[in-house]
């Protein structure tokens, strides 16, 4: 994200003071107006989308590790599955979650309201666009008329702590949206907290200490709609980046592939697995672990024929936390990262360009 400085109080209030009132057409509306012979606007053309190598996986080839949450919680199977989780965090930074405990009916309701919202006429969706706010419909962080754009329309909301919720800005169409979104965000937060407890234990930290950091912990949710693009090889649905928080949980709403992670300097596709979440380590957890767990650069690509939806829930510590390497994980090594209070940390994130792991690089101590 190309950004400008945001005061901590403004960040906490979900405001984008200094963000320019840049008007950008809905990508859904743009996609609907294009024919197969039309060229897309130059602001969406990304030469790197075609130039960087992508690994082609065979139909029977595995992608990222799969973690079974039911086994994590089973006293007889927990140690083995927890070791598998530890290796996934160390070697991949991405993994899928099955038997995760989020009720299927909660997921189905959420998927339904997402797809129904994006079926609304544009003028009805625009009622939930809130200029100067992070919360709402449209684009995230637009700062110039020249800025390159991602091929995506989004809904973005703070969901935790409760004092940051702005339910009055949540969509009222479909009529079940608010209830479905509230229930989904709470269930996913419980899952994230559970996983972070196991990760803390794997790192040699007390799970109770992690639980205290996560009490009233930060959560925000970004709902992505990637419309089909007739020149799909020339655009990006979401620019390469790593996430700022501790842990991200992504639900791929339909079976259209689009998520890719950078591995060995190539882009590695993540296959949708029905009913599963995709989890990834984020920057603040890399910092807390002093580099033992690493956040991974990822991006989204588009499809020429099919629309794709995903729901990303970002989970961090409470807003009073200090983002820094844990003292027990420094040991003989020196800390690799700076120490910042949470609000200053998020201010720095929103002032950084969405460009690979550039943001985390700004948090590293010079050696």
Q: What is the pLDDT of residues 177-220, one digit of tens each?
A: 999 999 999 999 999 999 999 999 999 999 889 999 999 999 99
Q: Is residue 3, in this structure, part of any structural domain at all? A: no
pLDDT 10s digits, 138-155: 876 655 667 788 999 999
**The pair of three-digit structure tokens given for residue 87, joined into one six-digit string:** 């290796």
Cα-atom radius of gyration of the chain, to the nearest Å? 20
Residue 53 lies in a domain: no
Identify the pLDDT of residue 23.
52
Angle between helices 177-202 and 104-119 (to 10 degrees): 130
Helix 207-214, helix 177-202: angle, nearest 10: 150
Q: Which residue is it, tokens 């004092």?
A: 163
Domain of residue 166: give its range: 8-35+64-363
| Percent of the chain surpassing pLDDT 70 | 89
Pairwise CA distance, residues 93 & 64, whole Å = 9
The DSSP bridge pattern shows strands 94-98 and 66-68 to be parallel
- Please give the C-alpha separations between residue 209 and each of 83, 214, 323, 334, in angstroms, as whole numbers: 20, 9, 14, 22
What is the band of 158 on the pLDDT scale with cuts at 50, 70, 90? very high
Helix, strand, coil distribution of the chain in percent, nearest 5: 35, 20, 45
Residue 173 lies inside a defined structural domain of this protein: yes
49 part of a folded domain: no
What is the pTM (predicted TM-score) of this model?
0.92
Domain for residue 136, yes or no? yes
Can you give the CATH number for the domain in which 167 is found? Answer: 2.60.120.330
User: Helical H runs in 160-316?
Assistant: 177-202, 207-214, 283-288
Q: Is residue 185 part of a domain?
A: yes
Q: How is the beta sheet containing 153-160 ordered, strand by strand?
A: 66-68, 94-98, 277-281, 247-252, 308-315, 219-226, 153-160, 136-138
**Long-range contacts made by residues 68-73, C-beta under 8 angstroms, separation at least 24?**
68/98, 68/99, 69/97, 69/98, 69/99, 69/100, 69/101, 69/191, 69/194, 69/195, 70/99, 70/101, 71/99, 72/194, 72/198, 73/194
Instruction: With a cut of 80, say whether residue 63 has pLDDT above it.
Output: yes
Query: Binning pLDDT at 50, 70 and 90, where does residue 11 land?
Result: very low
How many other C-beta atoms are found inside a 10 Å radius of the C-beta of residue 189?
19
Predicted confidence at residue 120, as pLDDT, reads 96
Q: How many domains does the chain have?
A: 1
Nearest to 304, CA basis, from 250, 258, 273: 258
> Is residue 103 assigned to a domain?
yes
Domain presence at residue 42: no
């Amino acid at each position: 994200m190309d950004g400008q400085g945001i005061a901590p109080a403004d960040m906490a209030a979900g405001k984008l003071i200094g963000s320019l009132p840049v008007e950008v057409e809905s990508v859904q509306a743009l996609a609907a107006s294009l024919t197969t012979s039309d060229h897309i606007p130059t602001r969406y053309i990304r030469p790197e989308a075609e130039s960087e190598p992508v690994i082609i996986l065979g139909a029977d080839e595995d992608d990222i590790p799969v973690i079974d949450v039911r086994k994590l919680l089973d006293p007889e199977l927990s140690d083995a599955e927890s070791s598998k989780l530890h290796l996934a965090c160390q070697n991949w930074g991405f993994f899928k979650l099955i038997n995760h405990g989020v009720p299927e009916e909660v997921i189905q309701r959420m998927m339904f309201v997402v797809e129904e919202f994006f079926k609304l006429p544009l003028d009805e969706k625009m009622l939930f666009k809130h200029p100067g706010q992070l919360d709402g419909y449209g684009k995230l962080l637009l700062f110039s008329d020249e800025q390159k754009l991602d091929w995506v329309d989004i809904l973005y909301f703070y969901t935790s702590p409760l004092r940051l919720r702005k339910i009055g800005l949540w969509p009222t169409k479909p009529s079940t949206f608010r209830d479905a979104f509230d229930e989904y965000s709470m269930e996913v937060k419980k899952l994230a907290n559970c996983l972070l407890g196991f990760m803390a234990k794997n790192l040699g930290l007390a799970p109770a200490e992690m639980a205290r950091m996560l009490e009233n912990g930060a959560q925000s949710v970004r709902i992505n709609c990637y419309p089909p693009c007739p020149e799909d090889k020339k655009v990006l649905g979401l620019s390469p980046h790593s996430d700022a928080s501790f842990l991200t949980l992504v639900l791929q709403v339909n079976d259209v592939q689009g998520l890719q992670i950078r591995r060995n300097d190539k882009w590695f596709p993540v296959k949708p697995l029905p009913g599963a979440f995709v989890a990834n380590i984020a920057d603040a957890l890399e910092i807390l672990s002093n580099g033992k767990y690493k956040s991974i650069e990822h991006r989204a690509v588009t499809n020429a024929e099919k629309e794709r939806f995903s729901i990303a829930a970002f989970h961090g510590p409470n807003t009073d936390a200090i983002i820094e390497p844990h003292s027990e994980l420094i040991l003989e090594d020196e800390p690799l990262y700076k120490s910042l209070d949470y609000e200053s940390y998020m201010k720095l994130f929103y002032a950084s360009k969405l460009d690979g792991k550039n943001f985390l690089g700004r948090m590293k101590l010079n050696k």
